[in-house]
Structure 1
Amino acid sequence: MNRFPPPSKCNCFVLRHAARKLTQIYDHHLTDAGMTANQFTIIGKVASVTTATMGGVSEELVMDRTTLLRALKPLRREMLITIDTPGTDRRKHLLRLTERGQRLFNAACNGWCTAHAEFEDKYGAARATALRNELFFLTGQKDHHESSKSHRVVHIHNNVTRVSLSSDNCFAVRQAARFVSQMYDRGLVDANLTIDQYSILSRVHDANEITMRQLAEVTGADRTTLVRGLQPLRIKGYLANAHVSRPREPQLFTLTAAGRTKFRSAREYWLRTQEAFEHQFGRSWAAMLREELYAVAIA
């Protein structure tokens, strides 16, 4: 009997799938401001506090330093954010929003509000608030959990616009997805796989043969993200192209013998991580959260 549960039972999978869906909604409405949802969250965090440190932003957004620096690079290049080192302590980096960054952020808030309204119209405002509370409980963000009862999402004072992260659905889901991904990555470290790579192997295993388009549909990932995830699996010999009978048929991916062996060994590590997650947060709570996140993914 196969002990591997269906994709919808994987806590990490449904979180990441929901995060991708919400990101697509917010990215779409932030396009006119020339900003992504991730960049909006970073700028919003810097704008919301008097002193924003690299460590503080990294911790709250559940981003490692390398990922945060990579995300900051285009913001610095466009002169939206500066990084200062006060005094002689070069270990302490302060993030500051420039006047240009504040103006762009003010303009981007219109797109953010449109995305916020679109999602909550489909999913339900009260339901969205309840989900954010659960996600902030998951990540241990008690302050956000308590303040998310407020319905005031945008604050304007002295021509400075601030968005409450407690009311940001995209931030809540993305933060939780990063938090749980790190948990599953640690669980799979001895299998020498990331949760991204394991998810791809799992989807290909379940389908036997699958096209790039089908893989994108079941994972919710865009083509660029998928290609980046597929490359190391092909290099290691875990994935191969299946034979197609007609030249113009879509390329099919299948697991090699080495890939099937790797998947069988890795799923034991995945299962332990899944069980550890549900032991920590409760099996019924995890099932409830998966159901809500699935509703987000199809909203």
Structure 2
Amino acid sequence: MAASRKDKKTSQKNSPSVCTCINLRRSSMAVSGLYDRYLAPSGLNICQFSLLKHLTVLGPVSVSELALEMRLDRTTLVRNLKALEQRGYVEDTSAEGSRNRCLTLTGSGKAVYNDAAALWEEAQLFLQESLGSADLQILTALLSKVEKLSL
């Protein structure tokens, strides 16, 4: 009997919730954890990598513009930027006395981003191989629909 209780607990633990929000949060944490494990050798987590990726594409940009492009609130963005600035990967290049910060990727920021990009690609490939291309496309389309619900 003890074995059957253990099996029941395991199956309950792995079964989806009736709450869609909880299922999305669990999935988000699982995927973030996966990317974080792949990115660990670079010293970056997925949020930090994404910030560096956006700065690479956008070039010098204000905090507000970056938050808008990444679709993050400014508080979350600033909290994640702090560690990157402390490590010397991002710097504020705004004119002295300016009220708006202008964020720029430093040389060491570009180097760590380039190294981490290969690790990120490995995580992407793992997800594609694990889910299959068709299911990954469906997932991406569904996540886009969910995101648009808040607009």
- Counterpart position of 1:232: 83
1:283 aligned to which of 109, 129, 133? 133
1:201 aligned to which of 52, 71, 94? 52
Q: 2:35, 2:104 → 1: CA distance?
A: 24
Residues 1:273 and 2:127 aligned together: no
Instruction: Extract unaligned runs of 5+ from structure 2.
Output: 1-8
Q: For 1:253, what is the secondary structure of its paired residue?
A: strand
Q: 1:214, 1:170 → 2: CA distance?
A: 28
Q: 1:296, 1:252 → 2: CA distance?
A: 32
2:72 aligned to which of 192, 214, 221? 221
**Cα displacement string for residues 227-262 of structure 1 (whole angstroms, at most 9, x for unaligned residues):** 2211110011000112349834x2111100111111
Note the 1:1-12 alignment, pairs <5 A.
Answer: none
Q: TM-score, normalised by structure 1?
A: 0.43
Residues 1:183 and 2:11 aligned together: no
Displacement after TM superposition at 1:281 (Å): 0.8
Q: Which amino acid aligns with 1:175?
A: R
Q: 1:186, 1:233 → 2: CA distance?
A: 18
Q: 2:20, 2:51 → 1: CA distance?
A: 26
Q: For 2:98, what is the secondary structure of its paired residue?
A: coil
- In structure 2, the CA distance between the partners of 1:203 and 1:179, relative to structure 1 (3 Å rule), is same
| Deviant stretches of 4+, over 6 Å | none
Q: Which amino acid aligns with 2:26?
A: Q
Q: Which amino acid aligns with 1:228?
A: R
Note the 1:48-63 alignment, pairs <5 A.
Answer: none
- Counterpart position of 1:294: 144
Q: Which structure features the higher share of helix residues? A: 2
- In structure 2, the CA distance between the partners of 1:242 and 1:298, relative to structure 1 (3 Å rule), is farther
Displacement after TM superposition at 1:169 (Å): 2.4
Q: 2:48, 2:68 → 1: CA distance?
A: 16
Displacement after TM superposition at 1:194 (Å): 0.5
Q: 2:47, 2:123 → 1: CA distance?
A: 15
Q: For 2:26, what is the secondary structure of its paired residue?
A: helix
Note the 1:61-210 alignment, pairs <5 A.
Answer: 141=14, 143-144=15-16, 165-166=17-18, 168-210=19-61
Q: 1:266, 1:233 → 2: CA distance?
A: 14
Q: For 1:188, what is the secondary structure of its paired residue?
A: helix
Q: 2:97, 2:57 → 1: CA distance?
A: 24
Q: 2:28, 2:101 → 1: CA distance?
A: 30
Residues 1:241 and 2:81 aligned together: no
Q: 1:269, 1:297 → 2: CA distance?
A: 26
